[in-house]
Amino acid sequence: MSIDGILNIIKPAGMSSFAIVSMVRSASGQRRVGHAGTLDRSAGGVLPVCLGRATRVIEFMSDVHKTYRAKVRLGVVTDTYDADGSVVEESDCSSVSREQLERLIPSFVGAIEQVPPMYSALKVGGTRLHKLARAGVEVELKSRQIDIYRIDLTCWEPPHFSIDVECGKGTYIRSLAYDIGRALGCGAHLAGLIRTRNGVFDIAEGFTVGQVRDAFAEGRWRDVLQPIDSVLQHMPAVVVDKPAEKDIAHGVPADLNVDGGRDTGWCRAYSADGGLIALLRYDVKRGNWHPQKVFI
């Protein structure tokens, strides 16, 4: 039996994202399993995991807002920018005040340039950066534009402070911690990280690894599974009749009247009984909708 849907799993710190996928694959008996939005092994929090046909919408789950709760340690810089790395620099941070930090934080909000950490999964010449770093290969990294929508200082207990960060895709909270420390003149690294939200998935509504494993073992997996279209609500939807449903299922372009569809370029097509048929993309030149991902 095919199980299709999305799990909102709360990944524990110390467990890799790949290990979570392996657990779900084993517990569910499904071959097609993938996660949306990798979390470092040392980080915890929301990790959406897609099963079956839901793996086909992972590409639509990357460009979403994410929220993190980060703990930063001032005065100590590591080579990985987090607590897992080796200390490369130590400085006196006793002169840094809360007021100084509060004045600095707004400069990191908005569309900013950020250099990714050397110890990351990004690839240069087909090789992941963390592999190059461990091999001692020096690479000149270029900055990238990222979007940070909000940073709230939630705790000040020097040499530590905590912030809540809402950001867009491609943001490295480790780099943010490093950059804040550099701007303060004392250095810093990320001491702890929890992702509290990933798109539509919130940590308050998530399930632990144990709860997910038990749900599959006891046949209650529907209780923890979100439908495929839970991450597609930003796309306009249209209900089609039986002839159009048959054509779309076979990849035939359709003439559909979709409110706002041409603006987004995508739409969801449903059958009369509410079943998701396909995702279609608008062809500007031909003036019709082409099935891109068919789910029936």
- Catalytic residue IDs: 40
Q: Are 7 and 33 in contact (CB under 8 A)?
A: no
Which residue has tokens 């995702």? 279
Nearest C-alpha neighbor of 280 from the set 265, 271, 78, 272 = 265
Backbone angles phi, psi at 44, to 5 degrees: -125, 180
What's the distance, Cα to Cα, between the start and end of the chain in Å? Answer: 14
Q: Are 177 and 72 in contact (CB under 8 A)?
A: yes
Cα–Cα distances in Å, from 158 out to 94, 100, 105, 172, 286?
8, 13, 16, 23, 62
Backbone angles phi, psi at 59, to 5 degrees: -60, -25
Cβ contacts of 250 within 8 Å, gap of 6 or more:
none
Cβ contacts of 285 within 8 Å, gap of 6 or more:
none
Q: Are 149 and 117 in contact (CB under 8 A)?
A: no
